[in-house]
Structure 1
Amino acid sequence: MAAEFWRNRVAVVTGASTGIGAEVCVTLANNYMVVVGLARRTQLIEDLNTRVTGLGKIFAIECDLTDTSSIVNAFEQIKAKFHTVHLLVNGAGRTVANFLLESSAGEVRDVFDLNVVAACTCIMQSVELMKIHGLRSHIIIINSILGHKVMELPKPAYNVYPATKHALTALCQTVRQEIRYNKLNVKLTSISPGMVETDFLKVYNPASYAPYPKLQPKDVADAVVYALHTPPNVQIEEIILQAIPEYKKEEK
């Protein structure tokens, strides 16, 4: 029943051109959703349709998620073409590889603008459109295990990134309170993966993360589907997933 409910519903995915966001787009489209991907590189989003089977479809809207006016404009386009939104998956994020103590204020601000401010703006814009139909809707925030604990490394490499993810953890809690207070038919799930094998890691020296086990983007996309496929009376508030060290596929 839950899977059938999402058929032909409209999903908006930020950070949709690569990595986790791109995989989420394909997975949702293959679950027969109408997917709208937001990113600056729209051609990469359009190209994802080659991986879509069945009736799902991925549409691309150019959006600079560090620019509030660009986000507002993107949601105006969504409203004009699709009328509403049933699902928001906030997947956009970035980091910097240098020490915080050696960073500029501009670098810190850029990370917060994309990881936190853009998430807030997308949530506000999505909820306004979700109110139009009043049907069950869902907000999913792609968080990080670093939004819950900061593991110590031989050489510190996190900079301000964990601070932004801790902000998202708190944001999810406050938005849920507002949703309940306003009696909105909206669920909110935070998905916090450990290290994921994506281009996101390219800001670091490959040797620095090579020893660590890594999830694949599909693992995170599957967690999105798991959260969606719950009955109306069940809300999964948090999913934390980690790769298993030295995992080997079972032999048939």
Structure 2
Amino acid sequence: MVLSMDRWIGKVAVVTGASSGIGVAIAEQLVEHGLKVVALARRKVRMDVLAVKLIGKKGKLYPIKTDITKEEDILNAFQWIKENLGPVHILVNNAGAGTPSTLIDGDTETWKTILQVNVMGLCMATREAIKDMKANNVDGHIIHINSILGHQVWPLPTLSVYPASKFAVTALAETLRLELNSLKSKIKITNLSPGAVDTEMVPSEFKKLIRGDPNLILEPDQIADGVIYALSTPSHVQIQELTIRPIHDFI
């Protein structure tokens, strides 16, 4: 199988949650491969700094301040893309929330935020991307950055509704694949599930457990490599599920 990113050069990719961690790593690699990358996140200053850092690369980064929990922000972002850059070819749903909480005495607003970001925000962005792809006859690619916790629940006491939100992403990826398949669409969907990654979201109790052991945690660039791999496959090859975990995982 020949792997190549050539067909994406000059095309538009949207990356949510692009102000830190995995989102930054994905945005950087896509720009380096020659794409016009629209970075969506609330912390625009961070994205502006990243855009300056990437000046001179094959592609370009376009930061847009976006709260993925707000439909209006998402609609405005996709409208700006349509008016200024052209058709969307790639969407990477990376934005995620995982504030520590519990089911026994957790805060309702915390639960709502996790579900709104991880499930509803992902659904709204996906809908808008596919709507644009279909309108422009684009055989695009949707990538959900899921989690190992979308397939199994770890015995950490403050996970709360986070695994439930990621199990939902697993179901949403497969439901979308079936919908696209029923339409004979060539738009691809990849459900990419990382194990523990060294980002701001890693719970402090987990960091204490790993005690700096590199065999127990991944780097954001390694997840971005997985995104590039999925995108590099021939048009008729779909990486439906991709799990990337450390060689010595937590369980």
Q: TM-score, normalised by structure 2?
A: 0.92
In structure 2, what is the Cα distance between the partners aligned to 1:181 and 1:192? 25
Contact 2:100 2:203 in 1 (8 A): no
Gaps of 5+ in 2: none
Tell me the residue number matched to 2:189: 188
Tell me the residue number matched to 1:250: none
Residues 7, 157 of structure 1: alpha-carbon distance in 2 compared, 3 angstrom cutoff = same
What is the Cα deviation at residue 72 of structure 1? 1.0
Tell me the residue number matched to 2:198: 197
C-alpha offsets along residues 175-234 of structure 1, whole Å, 9 cap, x if unaligned? 111111222220000100000001112665742553661100000000000000101111
Amino acid at match of 2:57: G
What is the Cα deviation at residue 18 of structure 1? 0.4
Residues 203, 39 of structure 1: alpha-carbon distance in 2 compared, 3 angstrom cutoff = farther
What is the Cα deviation at residue 106 of structure 1? 1.7
Choose from 144, 149, 166 the match for 1:146: 149
| 2:22 maps to 1:20 | yes
| 2:70 maps to 1:67 | yes
SS of 2:196's equivalent in the other structure is: coil
In structure 2, what is the Cα distance between the partners aligned to 1:142 and 1:126? 16
| 2:30 maps to 1:37 | no
Contact 1:30 1:53 in 2 (8 A): no
Matched residue pairs, number?
A: 244
Gaps of 5+ in 1: 247-252
Contact 2:143 2:189 in 1 (8 A): yes
In structure 2, what is the Cα distance between the partners aligned to 1:188 and 1:2? 18
Contact 1:97 1:203 in 2 (8 A): no
| 2:144 maps to 1:165 | no
In structure 2, what is the Cα distance between the partners aligned to 1:221 and 1:139? 14
Choose from 61, 76, 94 the match for 2:97: 94
Question: Bigger shift: 125-134 or 19-28?
Answer: 125-134
Choose from 68, 76, 84 the match for 1:81: 84
Contact 1:96 1:203 in 2 (8 A): no
Percent of matched pairs sharing the same residue: 38
Tell me the residue number matched to 1:48: 50
In structure 2, what is the Cα distance between the partners aligned to 1:149 and 1:134? 37
Q: Pairwise CA RMSD of aligned residues?
A: 1.8
| 2:17 maps to 1:4 | no
SS of 2:88's equivalent in the other structure is: coil
Q: TM-score, normalised by structure 1?
A: 0.91
Question: Bigger shift: 195-204 or 61-70?
Answer: 195-204
Amino acid at match of 1:238: E
In structure 1, what is the Cα distance between the partners aligned to 2:72 and 2:96? 18
Residues 204, 16 of structure 1: alpha-carbon distance in 2 compared, 3 angstrom cutoff = farther
Residues 203, 62 of structure 1: alpha-carbon distance in 2 compared, 3 angstrom cutoff = farther
In structure 2, what is the Cα distance between the partners aligned to 1:46 and 1:202? 27
SS of 1:197's equivalent in the other structure is: coil
